[in-house]
Structure 1
Amino acid sequence: MRLALLLICLAFPATGQEAAQAAAQRLQAAGEKLIAAESARDRISALTETVQAYEDGLIAMREGLRQVTLQEAALSTDLATQREEVAQLLGVLSTIRRTPDPVLQAHPAGALGATRAGMMVADVTNGLQTRVVILRDQVEQAQRLRDWREKATQELADGLQGAQTARTALGQAMSERTDPPLRFEEDPVQIALLVAGAESLGSFANQMRRTGLAPEITITPSGNLPLPAGGIVLPTTNTERPGIRIAAQPGALVASPAPATVLFRGALLDYGNVVILEPTTDVLFILAGLKEVFVEPGEIVETGAPLGLMGDETDVDGNLTENAIFDWGDAQQTLYLEVREGQSPTNPDSWFALE
């Protein structure tokens, strides 16, 4: 925990310090909460915040590393150009230096022309010395950037390991729960029959609808619910699927966007693992594409409760997730989110802050 905090706080250029400091503060707060946790519920809450803080910190680290890489590339290009110019000037001055004095003094314009030419050479020499000093500073700056990039790459790997450790601990804590609040008991045989006969995600969700199981807190469309996983909303490419696709970090934590009842969890059609939530009467939130799911059918979850994890870089569902390649070059995992009101899908932007 302390190592990750140092990585985020100390290993950043000015461009990423604000985001890094915010993530570091969250990580520190989550660590203190984890130490003070007395119950399994408190430990799960603290581990959830720890995982999310790690994810925010890793995003900030990647952005800082990307900025440094771009600066280093631009500086290297500039250095190559300046080196060529300085080499040409040095070549000219070297040629002049080897020229015999009588020839130098025999200027076509006479003594005045020779004097002016000498003054011009002196100016060029002074200018060249200034250029050499600037060039030397830039070379040193490029070396510092290169050293920082190499160090940050290793620190990023350490941070990824820390995030994975926190996710594993969270999964273990979720599996060890003994008394999650339940609204109903699942009928495995009935569910298996429904899954086997499902023709589409929408029809299956409508069959899973259970009237009267919504939480006492009623939520309404406001367009400000957080996305279940941090990431970027991808452009719509499949009109047959009315939901949205969120490009999330590999292994990202998927959390409940609102208080809800878990109606279903399991593999369905070509969607991978699916979780269906009922946040309010006659409204369903459908999440698909998870690799690992923590919750059970009938369970009552709060806002921010961990639902599961996305896959890693080498575990991509080709039917559901087209890899989105970000500037830092990492393969992303895609979470599918669909909202249904009554028997029909509705635009998710009426519920969620998609921007």
Structure 2
Amino acid sequence: MIRALILPLSLSVGLTIGLMNAVAAETSPAALAEAAAARLDQAGQTLAAAEKARDRVKALTETLRAFEDGLEAMREGLRRVSLREAQLTRELDARETEISQLLGVLQSIAATPDPVLAMHPDGPTDTARSGMLLADVTPALTDQAQALRSKLQEVAILRSLQQSAVDTLAQGLDGVQQARTDLSQAISDRTNLPKRFTEDPLKTALLVASAETLTGFASGLSEIAEGEAPGSLPDISHRKGKLPLPVQGTILRRAGEADAAGITRPGLILATRPRALVTTPTAATLRYLGPLLDYGNVVILEPQAGLLLVLAGLDVVYGSAGQVLPSGSPIGLMGGEEAEIGTILSQAGEGAGTEASETLYIEVRENNAPVDPVAWFATGKDK
């Protein structure tokens, strides 16, 4: 029994996703990763079954979302793993002398045969006292040894998990890039979306060139449409305050809040990761897409008559003006470059997540007057 207290110095540990649960007592990265993996699996099945271009776009959109979720879960899990490993390493380093003494005692006890360990040279009385002392000391030594073993095992697990993350990240980054490429091609091949109007390129160019404000541009949107079908999409006022944000991100500035230069805008700004996918928050007519004023690439959606959703700051835009897009349709990608594996690992080691370096501006206009986007989007109270 006493010999069983000796710690194994070399640990062989199998990695499973359940180990992530021991790393974080808060929201589990394992739960996020499992959910992302399930979505990715479902997306793969949908993609394999898709035959029409429209179905393929939908499947690829879901696949890309699943990749984004999976990579986010991996980054967060790696960050927590790195922090926990660093904490344990500091604790073990700080207790190095104490641990060395503990190991010395345990090794000395283990090297002594049990009969000799129980005997005392001064006779039976002192032998009995020695046995009583040993009985008192052994549980404390056992507890210390078990605690040390647990920490050493956890360090080994965390280090193995960090090592395996390199391959997982590489596969995920390759997968997300391939999904983006496939999605772009599928959108180019798509021909079966309904169209409410045909865009006049000359009128559009003139409107863009002459526009001095977003208000002026929005008021002239009807001029670029030819052969517009009457009517509108169904009223969505019942969804007010419930629309999902068009991209995964966090609110950087709300409507009316000044930026570092003191400039205020009537919309909100989301901080997103590089190359994040932007989708329609609801079914809408694509009124305009392309560069506009100082907003960068802009997409203007019309969910219903008199309501415009303006999304500005995209790097890549998808579709053509006049198309009626279903809810959740891809309309573009944010700019920037995906962080390299070395950068992600370095940031995780410092306890930081990869930077949300891109910004998407969202403005909502009712009857060509800006309103607070929070009135329409489900932004959450804590954002």
Is 1:342 the counterpart of 2:367? The answer is yes
Match of 1:308 in 2: 332
Is 1:202 the counterpart of 2:215? The answer is yes
**Would you say the 8 A contact 2:272–2:356 is kept in 1?**
no
* Higher RCO (CA 8 Å, separation ≥ 6 residues): 2
Residue from 290, 308, 314 that aligns with 1:266: 290
Match of 2:117 in 1: none
* Aligned positions of 1:135-154 closer than 5 A: 135-154=148-167
Comparing 178-187 with 243-252, which one deviates more in the overlay? 178-187
**Structure 2 residue ranges without an equivalent (≥5):** 1-15, 22-27, 106-128, 340-350
- Cα offsets for 1:20-63 (capped at 9, x unmatched): 22222211111111111121111111111111111111111112
| Pairwise CA RMSD | 3.2
Match of 1:225 in 2: 243
SS of the counterpart of 2:37?
helix
- Cα offsets for 1:127-178 (capped at 9, x unmatched): 5675355334322321220110121133123112101111110001101223
* Aligned positions of 1:148-227 closer than 5 A: 148-209=161-222, 215-220=232-237, 222-227=240-245
**Would you say the 8 A contact 1:86–1:128 is kept in 2?**
no
- Cα offsets for 1:99-139 (capped at 9, x unmatched): xxxxxxxxxxxxxxxxx9xx999977975675355334322
SS of the counterpart of 1:13?
helix
Comparing 198-207 with 125-134, which one deviates more in the overlay? 125-134
- Cα offsets for 1:54-74 (capped at 9, x unmatched): 111111111211211121121
Q: Compared with structure 1, are the counterparts of its residues 72 and 294 closer, same or farther at alpha carbon in structure 2 (3 Å cutoff)?
A: same
SS of the counterpart of 1:54?
helix
| C-alpha separation in 2, matches of 1:272 and 1:247 | 16
**Would you say the 8 A contact 1:214–1:280 is kept in 2?**
no
| C-alpha separation in 1, matches of 2:18 and 2:211 | 51
**Which residue identity is paired with 2:253?**
P
SS of the counterpart of 1:304?
coil
Is 1:49 the counterpart of 2:62? The answer is yes
| C-alpha separation in 1, matches of 2:183 and 2:38 | 20
SS of the counterpart of 1:203?
helix
**Structure 1 residue ranges without an equivalent (≥5):** 1-8, 93-115, 316-325
SS of the counterpart of 1:241?
coil
Q: Percent identity?
A: 47
Match of 1:333 in 2: 358
| C-alpha separation in 1, matches of 2:285 and 2:55 | 20
| C-alpha separation in 2, matches of 1:314 and 1:159 | 11
| C-alpha separation in 2, matches of 1:214 and 1:82 | 75
Residue from 147, 151, 161 that aligns with 1:134: 147
| C-alpha separation in 2, matches of 1:308 and 1:18 | 29
Structure 1 residue 90, shift from structure 2 partner: 8.9
**Would you say the 8 A contact 1:243–1:347 is kept in 2?**
yes
* Aligned positions of 1:239-254 closer than 5 A: 239-254=263-278
Structure 1 residue 287, shift from structure 2 partner: 0.4
**Would you say the 8 A contact 1:265–1:275 is kept in 2?**
yes
| C-alpha separation in 2, matches of 1:126 and 1:179 | 75
Residue from 300, 304, 308 that aligns with 1:284: 308
**Would you say the 8 A contact 2:233–2:303 is kept in 1?**
no
| C-alpha separation in 2, matches of 1:204 and 1:241 | 16
Comparing 121-130 with 148-157, which one deviates more in the overlay? 121-130
Paired residues, number: 317
| C-alpha separation in 1, matches of 2:221 and 2:169 | 42
Structure 1 residue 84, shift from structure 2 partner: 4.0
**Would you say the 8 A contact 1:258–1:279 is kept in 2?**
yes
**Would you say the 8 A contact 1:24–1:53 is kept in 2?**
yes
